[in-house]
Structure 1
Amino acid sequence: MGLKVYINGQLYDKADAKISVYDHGLLYGDGVFEGLRSYGGKVFRLREHLDRLWKSAKAICLKIPMTMDEMTQAVNDTIKVNNIQDGYVRLVITRGSGTLGLDPNRCSDPQVIIIADSITLYPAEFYEKGLQIVTVSTIRNHPAALSPRIKSLNYLNNILAKIEGMQAGCVEALMLNHNGEVAECTGDNIFLVRDGELLTPPVDSGILEGITRDAVMELAREAGITVKEKTLTRHDVYIADECFLTGSAAEVIPVVKVDTREIGDGNPGPMTLDLTRRFRELTRR
């Protein structure tokens, strides 16, 4: 049986899952989304993802045409019908079909799309040996232009940074904010370890408040590790004892080089490995 895609209460074969070419999600990137992980057929922190989705939608004046409980049921039903155990769920809300103009009031019927599929992870060797990343010149969206806290369908900022990183031979790239401070990577949050403390940029540095980020900070505090959300610069990255990234798809992945500079001893560090183990235990209970 082929994959089924949920659109507005109906399940369609993947080949027949379509929306209008006049949808403002396509024409202008006008919409919001979430990327979620499922483990053993259950979505990890679904309520937290939905809370963030509703906040993103509210921030762009987009009303989601169903309740959070109805969305929860729809996500779970889509996973079940596709027999997804350990997989990935993409939840998309578009503004809906409209005219060839920016006016969102001319759009009708926001589209609710749920795609449940298998997950493509970084290669295993990256988790074992660590990533090399590079700082790119493409800065994170200025919060006065488009808040990075909105997980919108307009991902060109991240995509341009991703292209720049890939052209430098790296699969992930570090983005700075408009003040030249460390923000986040193109699809992941960043953490540093220094003198036994766990450091990560605060939300007001221009980052998406990651669900996996929050989970890792909780796990670290439970383990007695001091966690600080503080403004960081590239200098802090270069002198860190350890570095790792977090994200729904990436989970927890070590970084061993930034801008060709070796982090720590050039191997995944003990705190990174410990938090990776704790996160895997949390998600695979």
Structure 2
Amino acid sequence: MKIYINGKFYGRDEAKVSVFDHGFLYGDGIFEGIRVYGSNVFELDEHLKRLEYSAKAIMLEMPWTRQEVSDAVCETCRQSGVTDGYIRLIVTRGAGALGLSPKTCHDPQLIIIADQIQLYAPEVYENGLKIITSATRRNSPAALPPMVKSLNYLNNILAKIEASNLGYQEAIMLNNEGYVAECTGDNIFVLQGGKLYTPPVSSGSLTGITRQVVVNIAAELGVPLVETALTRYDLWVAEEMFLTGSAAEIIGVVEVDHRKISNGKPGPVTGKFLQAFRERVTRDGTKL
């Protein structure tokens, strides 16, 4: 494995950043999780666009063009021999003084890792996921807009720990008003009455790349899609439910808060979306 840091490649044990880097000290940075399928970096341009938006939102100046970052991502995959896997793209504000102010920071770091990831075992994708609602609420958009994919994921991690301690692999996070935001790392889709529902970004969810792919697939399949505020009740009575994310891909949910969904197994509409997604992953993106 070779890890890219600011134009150079390092072995796994040699790849390092300064302990004074604000990304390490304060979570002051941004990232993207990207998939590569059959030597095709899926939706790379959309990921880089979102990275740029996150950088602008936190006033982090990136000295690289989108093409330069794109080339670096592809070269990292080639150097690491990854044709099917997961890419973690990270930008930190760089090293600075021991204080919150970023004015002393210099030399932002561009770090790219191409490796493998498996959030859930293959049988979970086949049999479906059981999830619960976490007591940990999603950060308010007034505090940190969820559209910013920042390095500070402590809010999500606490909800993940809570779920894990109770024997579950994933948890639903509500916003301060009690509406469904998203899971700890995935967007949520619910099928009811022939329509597909998903919380709007304003509810506290990330503007997911895979989420948008599903929105596009819904239009192609002729499944009406509605972005609206959802409650726990809407999830409990759902006919089908699935989660989406670059790492998780598309995974069916078969139980929410001990209530069975779709008779306890992934539903047929979920299967259609997964099939359509699989057909896209080696087509829509950037070839290595």
TM-score scaled to structure 1, two decimals?
0.98
SS at 1:265's partner residue? helix
Residue 249 (structure 1) shift: 1.0
Cα distance in 2 for partners of 1:70, 1:258 equals 43
Cα distance in 1 for partners of 2:213, 2:24 equals 32
Q: 1:163: which partner in 2?
A: 161
Q: 1:216: which partner in 2?
A: 214
What does 1:31-110 align with in structure 2 at a 5 Å threshold?
A: 31-110=29-108
Residue 121 (structure 1) shift: 3.9
Quote the sequence identity (%).
58
The reply on whether 1:144 has 2:138 as its aligned counterpart is no
TM-score scaled to structure 2, two decimals?
0.97
Q: 1:4: which partner in 2?
A: 2
Q: 2:176: which partner in 1?
A: 178
Cα distance in 1 for partners of 2:264, 2:152 equals 35
Residue 199 (structure 1) shift: 0.6
Moved more, 260-269 or 187-196: 260-269
Q: 1:206: which partner in 2?
A: 204
Residue 81 (structure 1) shift: 1.2
> Is the CA contact (8 Å cut-off) linking 1:31 and 1:93 kept in structure 2?
yes
The amino acid that maps onto 2:196 is L
Cα distance in 1 for partners of 2:93, 2:265 equals 45
Runs of 4+ more than 2 Å apart: none
Residue 14 (structure 1) shift: 1.2
Higher relative contact order structure (alpha carbons within 8 Å, sequence separation ≥ 6): 2
SS at 2:19's partner residue? coil
Residue 179 (structure 1) shift: 0.7
Residue 217 (structure 1) shift: 1.2
> Is the CA contact (8 Å cut-off) linking 2:40 and 2:281 kept in structure 1?
no
For structure 1, list consecutive stretches of 5 or more residues without a partner in the other structure.
none
> Is the CA contact (8 Å cut-off) linking 1:93 and 1:110 kept in structure 2?
yes
Cα distance in 2 for partners of 1:25, 1:275 equals 37
> Is the CA contact (8 Å cut-off) linking 2:146 and 2:204 kept in structure 1?
yes
Residue 7 (structure 1) shift: 0.3
- CA-atom RMSD in angstroms: 0.8
Moved more, 262-271 or 26-35: 262-271
Measured against aligned partners, the alpha-carbon deviations of 1:131-169 in whole angstroms (never above 9, x if no partner) come to 000000101111111111110000100000100111111
SS at 2:191's partner residue? strand
